Chains A and B, each alone.
Chain A
Amino acid sequence: AQSVTQLDSQVPVFEEAPVELRCNYSSSVSVYLFWYVQYPNQGLQLLLKYLSGSTLVKGINGFEAEFNKSQTSFHLRKPSVHISDTAEYFCAVSQGAQKLVFGQGTRLTINP
């Protein structure tokens, strides 16, 4: 069975600092990987996805992630964060057109 581990439940950073949110997955077969963001009282919005091809994926709002098959990781990065990036971030994995399996989430807090 697939599983996703987000290693940090909370990440506080200062505005304009870089950030990395860590995600590891377990699966014995090829997977598709996603990062979603959830703002308070809202649904999930896709940040970026890896289906195939280049292992460095660029998404919206200046975020990017790198798929590392040998380390089964898909860490999310942003070189300079803004107050508006304060939200909950979820890493997810799927096999084909099937259900998403989510991590527990990482709460990103940006301090001025």
Chain B
Amino acid sequence: GAGVSQSPRYKVAKRGQDVALRCDPISGHVSLFWYQQALGQGPEFLTYFQNEAQLDKSGLPSDRFFAERPEGSVSTLKIQRTQQEDSAVYLCASGLAGPDTQYFGPGTRLTVL
């Protein structure tokens, strides 16, 4: 079946622009996670949804980062007034309820100039 998809795959933004990154999870997966992966580093947790409820947003680095999942399916990560330090790959993962596998999408590579 279809895996997790993310769009766009690549995004170049000028500093100060707003961006929106989309994640389509695997159908039926209640859990959805966003991670940020800087160059040469492991992914770092940003936020977690169970259905439409955002249960953990402790990893969002500033109030410029905002995520939503209004209908418990597709999720959008929005970054306002982008800064150069926001340049990274943003990974989305989905999973079933419980301590089980998270399935990752291919990521969106964001470059802020």
Give every chain B residue within 8 A of A46 (Cβ-Cβ).
Answer: 101-103
A104 within 8 A of B: yes
A99 touching B56 in the complex, CB below 8 Å, given contacts A42-B106, A44-B91, A44-B104: yes
Count class of interface residues, chain A: 20 to 34
Give every chain A residue within 8 A of B59 (Cβ-Cβ).
Answer: 99
Give residues of chain A (1-54) contacting chain B, Cβ–Cβ below 8 Å.
4, 32, 34, 36, 41-46, 49, 51
Are A100 and B102 in contact, with the CB atoms below 8 A?
A: yes
Are B56 and A98 in contact, with the CB atoms below 8 A?
A: yes
Are B99 and A44 in contact, with the CB atoms below 8 A?
A: no
Number of B residues contacting the other chain (C-beta, 8 Å)? Answer: 28
Bound form: Cα–Cα A49–B107 in Å: 22
B105 within 8 A of A: yes
Are B42 and A90 in contact, with the CB atoms below 8 A?
A: yes
Bound form: Cα–Cα A51–B43 in Å: 21
B98 within 8 A of A: yes
Are B45 and A100 in contact, with the CB atoms below 8 A?
A: yes
A-side residues, CB < 8 A to B, are 4, 32, 34, 36, 41-46, 49, 51, 90, 92, 94-105
Q: Return 11 A-B CB contacts under 8 Å, by A number.
A: A4-B42, A34-B101, A43-B106, A44-B93, A46-B101, A90-B43, A97-B99, A99-B33, A100-B93, A105-B40, A105-B42
